[in-house]
A and B are shown apart, each in its own frame.
Chain A
């Protein structure tokens, strides 16, 4: 990848009030210097960070997002950061679907004693994003195209099924191998990837349809996916009532977005 001359990344950091924000304060008190590219939003717990909000940051054109919390086991609210971990893992995968590097999202832990660690994280992360370049530079997409993908990704992350599964991951995977009926982490991750792919494609299909009646082939062209996959997803969208079958034109069935 070619580095972008003069590119100064804009980085957003979500820091939990109890550890990572305190760690950032300690970096200040200790005068550890780090690059000025990061802006911080304080939240009570890293678990407040909804994946859709992370996507919103990218949609708005920010180049990198850090979500920092207490070390696992140290969350002020006990289990919060375990949820953060699972949710951000999924968010990274969704980000990948859009063509952006999942490395643009950093999830890490900073304790209230780790001022230096915080400074180092910001430094490394800023460098990493500097190397990746701007969003457009990385994906070679026009900004409006990329934005569309990101919006689709955000919508995927707002999907009930996806959110439900992310929320149950710990329970479903926990103590795998002890009870045979539990899902292994690997199986779960694979399942999640499939669902992410599918949800993302479905949002892309909806986006591509705008108001027109289209054939599967036409949709496939617009979203750049195989007609087979598109057909499967369109059927599923039809079940959900989001897409309507409008009739056959020639040999091809045509579909339209439900509602407006």
Chain B
């Protein structure tokens, strides 16, 4: 069945995907705009997901493919929202499709071009721990399965030589002359699902991120633990490729801080650190894993039990406290963590091979610009603000524009997904009500 009315979904993470699928299944036309070359968002980067430890891409990829195949969904990847005008029931939206220099309609995703491209650069998707080519797919399960040329590193664009990819592509998909393309849409409602970023933990200078090789972030660890990640799923130390025996996680890096970083709690870190600790234990049961925390926040379904299992079955050690400083042994590159006992004043010292920082969830940088275009309010931290977080949790201040997932603030996947469906339902309400008013 076809419904009249269409919806723009901005952001192709798990929240945007769910909202798009619900609406499309319902019969509405959906435009799903994603700024990177592939949909999937953060969840596509994760290895396993708490609390059931299922493989992240295994459960997400079928949904990504469904978005691609759905007759009611128009996927606009590598695209940006430029302008938005109008009001609930009748928004006009201008979208720019950035040139990917590969014709989406022709490219079959075979990857021949990438294989032969001589330029190797760090892959953002792998948190720069792995490589990609100048013509690339960010992840093997990319949707759409087409390549993109990164203009900034491609030899042709930087030095007017090469074009190897074009010569090799039998589908004749490579097109160096592609220009940005403007698209104008008319939609009844808009759903914002642009997700979150992570704080760069080098702000918390004393933990040495960026200076010490073996201090990594939790998202970097997800890529290391992932079987299709840069190390083929082996969690190794960046300094020497050794599999660490002793790993410490530090929670609330830049979260719940007074002064530096952000003051709020990032909600998902206690749980994902526990998950990552288990992953390390799974890979190497003899390793010792410590988690430094302030409060263990495990109030979701099955979460406390998950932590209990981490403690009892896996022997993960939880230490209450916020480490003051980390020092690197310059020869071994091992790390020494100093943690002061708040009241007793004694200082504990723990020597480990690797430290994993769990940085604060922060708003996407693009939120500012996007919020201006949409005239939607941000909260004091820069997340999209719900008009009333308790009573209409997915409504923004502008009727007809809804928000869901981590663009509203830190959340885990189940909450993001439930909210995404919720935003879809509200969008339908708006469409129905405006149609009734007009008809």
The CA-CA distance from A111 to B228 in the complex, in Å, is 10
Q: Is A70 interfacial (CB-CB < 8 Å)?
A: yes
Choice from A29, A70, A117 contacting B140 with Cβ under 8 Å: A29
Q: Is A12 interfacial (CB-CB < 8 Å)?
A: no
Contact assessment for A70 and B58 in the assembled complex, using a CB-CB cutoff below 8 Å: yes
Within 8 A of A (CB), among B46-105: 47, 52-59, 61-62
Contact assessment for A74 and B59 in the assembled complex, using a CB-CB cutoff below 8 Å: yes
Contact assessment for A18 and B62 in the assembled complex, using a CB-CB cutoff below 8 Å: yes
Residues of B within 8 A of A29 (CB): 111, 140
Residues of A within 8 A of B418 (CB): none
The CA-CA distance from A114 to B141 in the complex, in Å, is 12
**In the complex, what's the smallest C-beta–C-beta distance from B219 to chain A, in angstroms?**
16
With A113-B227, A113-B228 already in contact, 4 other A-B pairs whose C-beta atoms are closer than 8 Å: A19-B55, A22-B58, A112-B55, A113-B55
Interface of B is mostly: loop
- 27 A-B pairs (CB sep. < 8 Å): A18-B58, A22-B58, A22-B61, A26-B140, A26-B141, A26-B228, A29-B140, A71-B55, A73-B52, A73-B54, A74-B54, A74-B55, A74-B58, A76-B62, A111-B55, A111-B58, A112-B58, A113-B47, A113-B55, A113-B56, A113-B58, A113-B228, A114-B227, A114-B228, A115-B140, A115-B227, A116-B227
The CA-CA distance from A18 to B65 in the complex, in Å, is 12
Q: Is A190 interfacial (CB-CB < 8 Å)?
A: no
**In the complex, what's the smallest C-beta–C-beta distance from A127 to chain B, in angstroms?**
20
Contact assessment for A19 and B58 in the assembled complex, using a CB-CB cutoff below 8 Å: yes
Residues of B within 8 A of A115 (CB): 140, 227-228
Q: Is B226 interfacial (CB-CB < 8 Å)?
A: yes
| A residues apposed to B, CB below 8 Å | 18-19, 22, 26, 29-30, 70-71, 73-74, 76, 111-117
Contact assessment for A73 and B47 in the assembled complex, using a CB-CB cutoff below 8 Å: no
**In the complex, what's the smallest C-beta–C-beta distance from B37 to chain A, in angstroms?**
16
Residues of B within 8 A of A74 (CB): 54-55, 58-59
Residues of B within 8 A of A26 (CB): 140-141, 228
Q: Is B315 interfacial (CB-CB < 8 Å)?
A: no
Q: 1/0 per position for B153-165, CB-CB distance to A under 8 A?
A: 0000000000000
The CA-CA distance from A22 to B57 in the complex, in Å, is 10
Contact assessment for A116 and B232 in the assembled complex, using a CB-CB cutoff below 8 Å: yes
Contact assessment for B54 and A116 in the assembled complex, using a CB-CB cutoff below 8 Å: no
Residues of B within 8 A of A70 (CB): 55, 58
Contact assessment for A112 and B61 in the assembled complex, using a CB-CB cutoff below 8 Å: yes
Q: Is B399 interfacial (CB-CB < 8 Å)?
A: no
The CA-CA distance from A115 to B233 in the complex, in Å, is 11
Contact assessment for A113 and B57 in the assembled complex, using a CB-CB cutoff below 8 Å: yes
Residues of B within 8 A of A18 (CB): 58, 62
The CA-CA distance from A112 to B59 in the complex, in Å, is 9
Contact assessment for B233 and A112 in the assembled complex, using a CB-CB cutoff below 8 Å: no
Contact assessment for B227 and A111 in the assembled complex, using a CB-CB cutoff below 8 Å: yes
Which residue of chain A is the closest to B59 with respect to CB atoms?
Answer: A74
Residues of A within 8 A of B62 (CB): 18, 76
The 6 closest A-B pairs by CB, nearest first: A111-B55, A112-B58, A114-B227, A113-B227, A74-B54, A29-B140
Within 8 A of A (CB), among B223-276: 226-228, 232-233
Most chain A CB neighbours (cut-off 10 Å) among B52, B58, B61: B58
Residues of A within 8 A of B232 (CB): 116
Which residue of chain B is the closest to A70 with respect to CB atoms?
Answer: B58
The CA-CA distance from A26 to B56 in the complex, in Å, is 15
